[in-house]
């Protein structure tokens, strides 16, 4: 799938985030534990957007610009922290994703799991 024009690659996003942090002298605070905790905090904020909503209410909310903006910002916050964590830990995020996708393809062959939820407790292992 070709990349949309003018959209940064994952590697370029890491560079943009690194520069943002450097300009503010925040490297001193960006330790792996703190970044992991911060990603978790942001994930909690994302979950709040779904808390107590039915699936139908979520579908309705997704058609509202204000909700979509809040959701997009929470997703961005999580991704920023995770990309920064990968950078600080010297993990290439693109390579990690591709490697994990290979593991997932082997663990969940399409022919075996098509149309089924992963780890459906009603299915034998």
pLDDT at 75 (0 to 100): 99
> What percent of the chain clears pLDDT 90, i.e. is strictly above it?
85
Question: What pLDDT digit, counting tens, does each position of 7-58 carry?
Answer: 999 999 999 999 999 999 999 999 999 999 999 999 999 999 999 999 999 9
Q: Where are the domains of the chain?
A: 10-113
Rounded average pLDDT over 51-70: 99
SS3 assignment for the chain: CCCCCCCCCHHHHHHHHHHHHHHCCCHHHCCHHHHHHHHHHHHHHHHHCCCCCCHHHHHHHCCCHHHHHHHHHHHHHHHHHHHHHHHHCCCCHHHHHHHHHHHHHHHCCHHHHCCCCCCCCCCCC
pTM check: above 0.85 = yes
Assign 3 a pLDDT band (cuts: 50, 70, 90).
Answer: low
Q: 31: left (phi > 0), else alpha (psi -120 to 50), else beta? A: beta
**Domain 10-113: assigned CATH number:** 1.10.287.1080
């Amino acid at each position: 799938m070709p990349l949309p024009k003018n959209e940064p690659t994952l590697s370029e996003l890491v560079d943009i985030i690194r520069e943002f942090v450097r300009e503010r002298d925040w490297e001193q605070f960006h330790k792996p534990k703190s970044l992991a905790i911060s990603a978790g905090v942001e994930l909690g904020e994302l979950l709040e957007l779904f808390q107590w909503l039915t699936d139908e209410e979520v579908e309705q909310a997704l058609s509202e610009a204000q909700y979509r903006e809040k959701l997009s910002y929470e997703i961005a916050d999580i991704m920023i922290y995770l990309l920064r964590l990968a950078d600080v830990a010297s993990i290439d995020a693109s390579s990690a994703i591709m490697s994990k996708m290979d593991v997932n393809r082997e663990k969940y062959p399409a022919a075996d799991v098509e149309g089924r939820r992963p780890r459906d407790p009603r299915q034998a292992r």
